[in-house]
């Protein structure tokens, strides 16, 4: 019995590693872009590297560096990053049970919560697989992101204009692939996700990056209403 359980667990881990590799690849590419943009803009190598280790939030990091490179002070950069990263509070509540028991585990897990890690974990069909998916994707994503940032920072301005490579499309494409199965399986989720997506698209041209995702969480209120007893089917 134990050998069967070990075999099943190994197969699950292999499957999750294979699926996570798509997210890791996108993260590494965008990490290289972030490191290169920061150093090419005049920041020392250590700034994007330390920021990626301690902050670990792509949109918040890009926005904070943009503020610094535009001449804004550290306080404005921190405020921008905090605003854009508030959406992870909702993600943390959604994946809290996937972190497992223990204060140290929850502290580390909280640092690993990202859009991609939360989406990957919540796409799994059962609690055991969700917990394993969270830690596999979270630890791998953290490692690849930071290695990518270091590589980009060391490359400096050698990559030229990173926007021409279309790197900004990598994460959205991966996230769409992660959430599509859940949207296909749950009609109520679709009815909540579509208004949220429409709101995010409408706000994208007029607000900073990351804020549309935060505003799209308004769809959660609709989900609660649909899930309430007696709600219309």
Cβ neighbours of 194 (radius 10 Å): 13
Dig out the tokens for 147 from the structure.
Answer: 């290695």
The whole-number pLDDT of residue 30 equals 83
If one compares 11 and 49, the residue with the highest pLDDT of the two is 49
Judged against a pLDDT cut of 50, whether residue 62 lies above it is answered with: yes
186 or 213: whose pLDDT is higher?
186
pLDDT tens readout for residues 212-224: 766 777 776 766 5
161-169 contacts, C-beta under 8 A, 24 or more apart? 162/32, 162/33, 162/36, 162/37, 165/33, 167/29, 167/30, 167/33, 168/30
**Which tokens sit at 124?**
């799994």
Write the CA distances from 75 to 33, 48, 68, 82, integer angstroms. Answer: 24, 17, 10, 11
Q: In terms of C-beta density within 10 A (0-12 exposed, 13-18 middle, 19 or more buried), how is residue 137 classed?
A: buried
Whole-Å CA distances, 116 to 23, 88, 112, 133: 7, 11, 10, 11
Contacts 24+ apart (CB under 8 A), 180-184: 181/123, 182/122, 182/123
Reported confidence tier of residue 148, pLDDT bands at 50, 70, 90: very high
- Give the number of other CB atoms < 10 A from CB of residue 15: 14
pLDDT digits (tens, 9 = 90+) for 160-176: 665 565 555 555 565 56
Residues 11-31, mean pLDDT to the nearest whole number: 81
Q: What is the mean pLDDT of residues 1-25?
A: 68
Per-residue DSSP letter, 149: H
The predicted pLDDT at position 1 comes to: 47
Contact of 67 with 47, CB cutoff 8 Å: no
pTM: predicted TM-score of the whole model, two decimal places = 0.67
Q: How confident is the model at residue 6 (pLDDT cuts 50, 70, 90)?
A: low
142-147 average pLDDT score: 95
More confident residue, 77 or 45: 45
- The token pair at 179 is 């959430």
- Give buried/exposed letters for 62-100 (b at 16+ CB in 10 A, else e): bbbbbbbeeeeeeeebeebbeebbebbeebeeebeebbe
As a whole number of angstroms, the distance between CA 182 and CA 178 comes to 8
CA-wise closest residue to 115 among 94, 99, 143: 94
Alpha-carbon distance of 202 to 121, in angstroms, equals 28
């Amino acid at each position: 019995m134990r050998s069967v359980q070990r075999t099943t667990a190994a197969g699950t881990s292999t499957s999750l590693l294979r699926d996570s590799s798509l997210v890791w690849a996108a993260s590494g590419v965008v990490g290289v872009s972030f490191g290169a943009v920061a150093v090419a803009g005049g920041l020392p190598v250590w700034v994007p590297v330390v920021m990626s280790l301690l902050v670990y939030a792509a949109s918040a990091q890009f926005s904070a560096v943009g503020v610094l490179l535009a001449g804004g002070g550290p306080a404005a950069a921190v405020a921008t990053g905090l605003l854009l990263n508030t959406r992870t509070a909702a993600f943390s509540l959604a994946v809290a049970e996937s972190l497992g028991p223990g204060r140290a585990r929850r502290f580390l897990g909280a640092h690993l919560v990202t859009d991609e890690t939360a989406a990957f974990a919540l796409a799994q069909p059962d609690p055991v697989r969700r917990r394993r998916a969270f830690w596999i994707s979270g630890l791998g994503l953290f490692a690849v992101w930071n290695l990518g940032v270091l590589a980009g920072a060391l490359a400096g301005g050698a990559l030229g204009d990173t926007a021409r490579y279309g790197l900004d499309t990598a994460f959205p494409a991966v996230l769409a692939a992660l959430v599509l199965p859940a949207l296909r399986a749950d009609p109520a989720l679709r009815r909540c996700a579509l208004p949220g997506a429409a709101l995010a698209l409408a706000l994208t041209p007029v607000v900073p990056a990351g804020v549309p995702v935060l505003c799209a969480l308004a769809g959660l209120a609709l989900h609660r209403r649909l899930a309430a007893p007696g709600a219309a089917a």
